[in-house]
Amino acid sequence: MSRWFSIRQDLTPGRHRLLGVFAFLLPLAVWSLFSYVPWLWHPMVRVTDPAGVSWIKPGQILPREDFAKLVEKQAALAAPLPTGAPANPLYFPPPHAVGRALYTAFTTEPVLKGDKWLHEAIFSSIGTIFWGFTLACLVGVPLGIFCGASPAVARLTEPFVDFIRYMPAPAFGALMVAIFGIHVAPKIGIIFIGVFFPLVLVVATTVRRADVSLVEAAQTLGAKRRALVLRVLVPASLPDLYNDLRLLLGSAWTYLIVAEVVGVSSGISFFINQQAKYRNFDNVYAAIVIIGAIGFTTDQALAWIGQRLFAWKNPRPSRLRRFFGRLTGSTASPAPVASA
Amino acid sequence: MVSPSDSDPAADALPDYRRQSPAVAARFAALRQRPVVLEIDRLGRQFAGEHGPVTALRDISLQIHRREFVCVIGPSGCGKSTFIRLLAGLDTPTSGRVLLDGKPVTGPGPDRGMVFQGYTLFPWLSVTRNVMFGLEMQGKAATEAERDALQWIDLVGLRKFAHAYPHQLSGGMKQRVAIARALAASPRILLMDEPFGALDAQTRAQMQAHLLEIWRNVDVTIFFITHDLDEAILLADRILVLKANPGEVQELIEVPVPRPRRLDQLTTPEFLATRRRLDELIHPKVAAHVASERLPIVRLTQLGDDVE
Ligand SMILES: Nc1ncnc2c1ncn2[C@@H]1O[C@H](COP(=O)(O)OP(=O)(O)OP(=O)(O)O)[C@@H](O)[C@H]1O
Ligand SMILES: [Mg+2]
């Protein structure tokens, strides 16, 4: 049996899975410790009995020093002493509260009429991301591929793209509202700006990294420009391009949160801000966790699909690839593995 | 690599490597009558180095006839790869020119197929689709291209692996597919840059036999780079010996070993004579050289722990 923490040695599948679970259990354990062990942190006091002090109510949370002063004052007056239990600030709800909120946030009606339910907010956010990201890809991927394929196009494009890339996308917020109005369009615009410019550069770099000897081999087989791009450079860099897009999809979520407060606030950011206003911090956490869960599962799913789609990159037979192979007419079928 | 002549007095009885049997001489006479496929005319290539221009190749002239097998040998860094890239059109000469069937070469094209030293199969395509690539570039319909491709795959003996992907093949198989892929595009000349350099000795011998067999059956001229002297003699009609710094023609040898070639010819007098000549050209006075340049190594082993 190999050691657990050896350098750059692949984990056994069992350990791989186990450690993956621990990656989530450990933070949860820390969170639980600070939430449930009364003498860990707990800088506040939750009043259980006001004992006649008129300006505090049972369940109210106040800083420990303030409560101590209050008790001192009452003691000096020989009045009955208020009692309380150690508590954490409101903004640090315990795991079970957030867990409950994960469910109740979907079932509680919005406070104001016309506000969105949580699931509606989530769908609206996903829609914004989808359109912003898709539009950025539709324009950015071909442009990036051209840049990667042709040094002339790259030189003509990349310096300016690089220049704009340094401008934070949210800085275009006011401009987007002026151009596209106050609803969903400017939000899509901000995500587009945030994703498009890095995308072009990343795609170009990935295409440039493709093995030049494959291009040369294709040239000696009679491939001209168009075929060199479409039949050699694109398929050669497709697995890496796919991973690039996965990473950028993550950054699209970052821009989403800023984009959604531009113009008429909407989507999951609106829900979060609204709940924070009502001081329902467990709902705030629930919404944040949901964003994380959506991002994480999308990414894992895409990784899983990618591994099967580009099996030639990581040798492992795959039914999905064969399926796609049949769709595209290539004759991918199992073959004996060479031994000679 | 010490030439047999150094120690063996009987080797001095070897014939002159320039002496050809009547059959071989007749073959060369016939060969010279064939049309010239590739004409290399005072070819030169300079690179911009850190300290001024570096001449990788200088003034190379050669005429290659149809269906001829030419090998190029030379020490490492003498410009062999540079040379073949110029012929393929993947690089442009700084002087001289290359003519294919009388027309100047201006860039890469399917009339000059190439097999590279590294493996350059398209890893995302199956063997069949790799071989189909050149055919499709010529505008052949998919079904026709596939039929042709399968014939070429048969020719290199990989029918069983037609649907395999490159990562499922051994090194020798990959190079066979690369040969099939290059030949499928029906080139006038097949350029090969140390194609078997990365293979083990046994596979390499198989591949040499294979290549000769293919060359016998296919109407193609072969230009083959190697650093293996035996390989050059075994395969070539003529051997172009280059010297380094700058890369220049040292000698153009007509191989006196009769055809058809077999591995057991390795010990025939013609073979040994040619081999000795190549040794003289490529490794001049090896023994003296090694002795005079002892490596500055300090002894790091225990006394009495000698291995030699
Ligand atoms: N693109 C380049 N730029 C500058 N110098 C180069 C370039 N390509 C090759 N050279 C130089 O030209 C010389 C010949 O290189 P080349 O690769 O043709 O040698 P080679 O005979 O193929 O060597 P090997 O047997 O090791 O493959 C070398 O000195 C090399 O440094
Ligand atoms: Mg080389």
Q: Ramachandran region of residue A222, left (φ > 0), alpha (ψ -120 to 50) or beta?
A: left
Round to whole Å and give the CA distance between A232 and A230: 6
Asked if the model's pLDDT at residue A335 lies above 50, the reply is no
Confidence at residue A116, expressed as pLDDT on a 0 to 100 scale: 80
Percent of chain A with pLDDT over 90: 62
User: Taking CA A160 as the corner, what is the angle to CA A159 and CA A166, rounded to the nearest 5 degrees?
Assistant: 95
In this complex, do B116 and A217 lie within 8 Å of one another by their Cβ atoms? yes
Q: Which residues have CB under 8 Å from B129's CB, separation 6+?
A: A330, A331, B122, B149
Between chain A and chain B, the number of residue pairs with CB atoms below 8 A apart is 108
Confidence at residue A319, expressed as pLDDT on a 0 to 100 scale: 59
Give A255-307 pLDDT, tens digit per residue: 998 899 888 888 999 989 988 998 889 999 999 999 999 999 999 999 999 98
Section A155-160 average pLDDT: 96
Which of B226, B193, B215 lies closest to B261, judged by CA?
A: B215
Confidence at residue A109, expressed as pLDDT on a 0 to 100 scale: 82
In this complex, do B168 and A220 lie within 8 Å of one another by their Cβ atoms? no
Helix, strand, or coil (residue A84): strand
Confidence at residue B5, expressed as pLDDT on a 0 to 100 scale: 46
Q: Which residues of chain A have a CB within 8 Å of the CB of B181?
A: 221
Least distant ligand from the CA of B247: 1
Confidence of residue A314 (pLDDT cuts 50, 70, 90): low
Confidence of residue B77 (pLDDT cuts 50, 70, 90): confident
Chain B interface with A: residues with Cβ < 8 Å: 88-90, 107-110, 112-114, 116, 118, 120, 122-126, 128-129, 133-134, 137-138, 142, 160-170, 172-173, 181-182, 185, 191, 203
Helix, strand, or coil (residue B59): strand
What integer best gives the mean pLDDT of chain A? 88
Section B106-125 average pLDDT: 93
Asked if the model's pLDDT at residue A27 lies above 50, the reply is yes
Asked if the model's pLDDT at residue A318 lies above 70, the reply is no
Round to whole Å and give the CA distance between A286 and A268: 11
Section B44-71 average pLDDT: 94
Confidence at residue A159, expressed as pLDDT on a 0 to 100 scale: 96
Asked if the model's pLDDT at residue B295 lies above 80, the reply is no
Round to whole Å and give the CA distance between A227 and A217: 12
Among the ranges given (A146-155, A323-332, B39-48), the one the predictor scored with the smallest mean pLDDT? A323-332
Confidence at residue B212, expressed as pLDDT on a 0 to 100 scale: 95
Confidence of residue A310 (pLDDT cuts 50, 70, 90): confident
Spans of all domains in chain A: 13-93, 107-314
Q: What share of chain B is helix, strand, coil (3-state, %, to 5)?
A: 40, 20, 35
Section B254-262 average pLDDT: 92
Give B135-152 pLDDT, tens digit per residue: 999 999 999 999 999 999
Q: Which residues of chain A have a CB within 8 Å of the CB of B169?
A: 338
Chain A interface with B: residues with Cβ < 8 Å: 211, 213-214, 216-224, 227, 231-232, 235-236, 238, 310, 312-313, 315, 329-340
The protein residue with its alpha carbon nearest to ligand 1, atom 7, reads B47
Tell me what ipTM this predicted complex has. 0.88
Q: What is the nearest CA distance from A114 to chain B, expressed in angstroms?
A: 53
Percent of chain B with pLDDT over 70: 93
Confidence at residue B279, expressed as pLDDT on a 0 to 100 scale: 92
Instruction: Find out whether the beta carbon of B76 lies less than 6 Å from any atom of ligand 1.
Output: yes
Q: What is the nearest CA distance from B297 to chain A, expressed in angstroms?
A: 33
The two tokens of residue B87 are: 């012929």
Looking at per-residue pLDDT, the higher value among A179 and B286 belongs to: A179
Pick the CATH number of A107-314 from 1.10.3720.10, 1.10.357.10, 3.40.50.300, 3.40.50.2000: 1.10.3720.10
Give B212-257 pLDDT, tens digit per residue: 999 999 999 999 999 899 999 999 999 999 998 888 999 999 999 9
Which of A63, A259, A100 lies closest to A171, judged by CA?
A: A259
Which of B38, B46, B43 lies closest to B109, judged by CA?
A: B38
Domain with CATH 3.40.50.300 in chain B: 4-111+189-291
Asked if the model's pLDDT at residue A38 lies above 50, the reply is yes
Asked if the model's pLDDT at residue A56 lies above 90, the reply is no
Give A94-137 pLDDT, tens digit per residue: 999 999 999 988 888 887 777 788 888 999 999 999 999 999 99
Backbone torsions φ then ψ of B136, nearest 5 degrees? -65, -35
Give A165-201 pLDDT, tens digit per residue: 999 888 898 999 999 999 899 999 999 999 999 999 9
Find the CB nearest B173 among A218, A332, A338: A338
Round to whole Å and give the CA distance between B20 and B27: 10
Confidence of residue A339 (pLDDT cuts 50, 70, 90): very low
Pick the CATH number of B4-111+189-291 from 3.40.50.300, 2.60.40.10, 3.40.50.150, 2.60.260.20: 3.40.50.300
